[in-house]
Amino acid sequence: MKYIPIGLVLVFALSFCNLSEKFKHGKSSSGSESGSSSSSSGGGSAEKGVATPAQAAAIAGGKDAKWDRQGMSWTVPASWKETENESKQFMWSAPSSSANLIVSISPMDESFPAESSIQAFYDQAKSRAKNGEVDEVKWVEIDGLKGVQFREANPEKPDDSRRLQWMAYRKFTGQLQLVNLMLASNGKDFPAQQDAMYGILYSMKITH
């Protein structure tokens, strides 16, 4: 697979948007659920997102991938290139396009129940794990922001996509936002790219 088709990205994102839509009509029971806190809370304690020596080595000597308009940045391998930089979507890719960093922003209404929603994302990932679709699910805090991190299991077809994903809510410039970060590759290339993917994820600097 030379790249992750944008249609596939949109379909995957829409599946989460549909889940989020259910909560837009829910009642926020506290200020923290409406996003008044600086980070997603959720129902469990979070570990710190810290790269292992191998993961840090995979991005050593890399370069900054800056999304200035959203106040975010990452360290990516030196060979990676920026392929998209829009107001709500940001993407960098490996030279062969076998691995991608894809970040999207979804603005939410001030009354949106962020705590309930992030817990639902976690619960959905746990359900997928029971079905064998996901092999890692946990709460992870990166640069002070708590989110849900999960990794898809190896696909049956080696050219199908496999994703490492982290999702969180934040307040940025007075707006509640869902931050949806995916590091994706095809199944056959994922093991070779995995250390770099985790290194990129845990290198994130995010304003919130």
What residues in the chain have per-residue pLDDT under 70? 1-43
What's the pLDDT score for residue 96? 79
**In this structure, is residue 103 part of a structural domain?**
yes
CATH number of the structural domain spanning residue 162 = 3.40.1000.10
What is the domain range of residue 21?
A: 6-206
What's the pLDDT score for residue 42? 66
Write out the chain in H/E/C secondary structure.
CCCCCHHHHHHHHHHHHHHHHHHHCCCCCCCCCCCCCCCCCCCCCCEECCCCHHHHHHCCCCEEEEEHHHCEEEEECCCCEEEEECCCEEEEECCCCCEEEEEEEEEECCCCCHHHHHHHHHHHHHHHHHCCCEEEEEEEEECCEEEEEEEECCCCCCCCEEEEEEEEEEEECCEEEEEEEEEEEECCCHHHHHHHHHHHHHCCEECC
What's the pLDDT score for residue 41? 60
Query: How many separate domains does the chain show?
Result: 1
pTM of the model: 0.81
**In this structure, is residue 123 part of a structural domain?**
yes
pLDDT tens sequence across 107-164? 999 999 999 999 999 999 999 999 999 999 999 999 999 999 999 999 999 999 999 9
**In this structure, is residue 1 part of a structural domain?**
no
What's the pLDDT score for residue 23? 39
